[in-house]
Structure 1
Amino acid sequence: MPKMKTHKGTAKRFRKTGTGKIMRAKAFKSHILTKKSPKRIRGFRQETELTGEQAKNVAARMNH
């Protein structure tokens, strides 16, 4: 059976940490920022961890 290929759309959106967690960027950072508070905008900079079933689905598509 051939090797599984990495899903490139998934590989661009998520990264795997050294401990194996799947990290993602926060949403709502791209436009209409004037009505969002500076504190809220700063919060969008941090990545957050995927958990549960979502993490399993993403991990299956990331072969790295």
Structure 2
Amino acid sequence: MPKNKSHSGIKKRIKVTGGGKLLRQKAGLRHRLEVKSSEKTRRLSGTTEVSRADTKKVRKLLGL
């Protein structure tokens, strides 16, 4: 049986913490920032956890 390859796109987008949580960037902070309010851009900055519904899929793609 060959080894499973982890998904290179997911590797670049998801960080795994020491405790096993999956962190991702929030969507909506790439372009058209002049239209969005400062309050909204502050809210979108930083990282957040991957939702529980998607965790199983993301773990499989990462090869965990």
TM-score range, shorter chain: 0.7 to 0.9
How high is the TM-score relative to the length of structure 2? 0.85
1:2-44, Cα deviation, whole Å (9 max, x unpaired): 2111110111111111111111101111111122111211222
**What is the one-letter code of the residue matched to 2:39?**
K
Inter-partner Cα distance in structure 2 for 1:2 and 1:23: 29
Q: Determine what percentage of the aligned residue pairs are the same residue.
A: 38
Q: Which residue of 2 aligns with 1:33?
A: 33
Runs of 5+ consecutive residues of structure 1 not aligned to the other structure: none
Report the residue type matching 1:52 in the other structure: R
Runs of 4+ in 1 over 3 A off after TM superposition: none
Structure 1 residue 61 corresponds to structure 2 residue 64: no
Q: Give the aligned length.
A: 64
TM-score normalised over the length of structure 1: 0.85
Post-superposition offset of 1:63: 2.9
Matched, 1:6 2:20: no
